[in-house]
Amino acid sequence: MSAVFKDAPRLVPMHDGDLAEVLAIENAIYTHPWTRGNFGDSLRAAYECWTWRLGDELIGYFVLLVAAGEAHLLNLSVAASRQRAGHGSELLKDALRLARSRGAQQLFLEVRPSNLGAKALYSRFGFRQAAVRPGYYPAHGGREDALVLTLPL
């Protein structure tokens, strides 16, 4: 096998056994992280839960719900030490491919207005703002709106 292939991260289905590593990343990168229960529920509900691994190292993951021709990207995360190296873009491309292959015509996601990095990533991919959910997220000292972004597939 060539070095190029050996060094390329791979998309691998998420299992319960991944959750300790997933939660370590989750807790490090979000002020209000998903809990073990949130991931466990997603796995049991057979949402599309995928990890992005380089050998044994967990670099990132996403959770996608596809139903009735619509896809909802519920979680997209890259380990802090691996950010700004293109992994988030690769994961997002894979999530979009998966959503298309499952028959979705539109993808939706929510993002905090304060999350400038994620907003920049989504805008690069052509996402447009569809709505605002007032006070959707918990935030330090109150609540924060969610921007609902959408992309036709």
Ligand X SMILES: CC(C)(COP(=O)(O)OP(=O)(O)OC[C@H]1O[C@@H](n2cnc3c(N)ncnc32)[C@H](O)[C@@H]1OP(=O)(O)O)[C@@H](O)C(=O)NCCC(=O)NCCS
Tell me: does residue 84 bind ligand X (CB under 6 A).
yes
In the numeric block, which tokens belong to residue 106?
Answer: 């539109």
Tell me: does residue 44 bind ligand X (CB under 6 A).
no
Tell me: does residue 95 bind ligand X (CB under 6 A).
no
Which position among 64, 78, 95, 146 is part of the footprint of ligand X (CB under 6 A)?
A: 78
Tell me: does residue 38 bind ligand X (CB under 6 A).
no
In the numeric block, which tokens belong to residue 6?
Answer: 């050996």
Please tell me the number of Cα atoms within 13 Å of 47 on its side-chain side.
22
Q: Which stretch binds ligand X (CB under 6 A): 1-9, 85-93, 95-103, 137-145?
A: 85-93
Identify the H or E element spanning 10.
strand 10-13
- Considering the complex, state which of residue 66 and residue 108 has its C-beta at the smaller distance from ligand X: 108
Main-chain dihedrals φ then ψ at residue 23, nearest 5 degrees: -70, -30
Residue type, 133: R
Residue 26 contacts residue 34 (beta carbons within 8 Å): yes
Tell me: does residue 131 bind ligand X (CB under 6 A).
no
Binding site for ligand X (CB under 6 A): 29, 76-78, 83-89, 111, 115-118, 120-121, 124
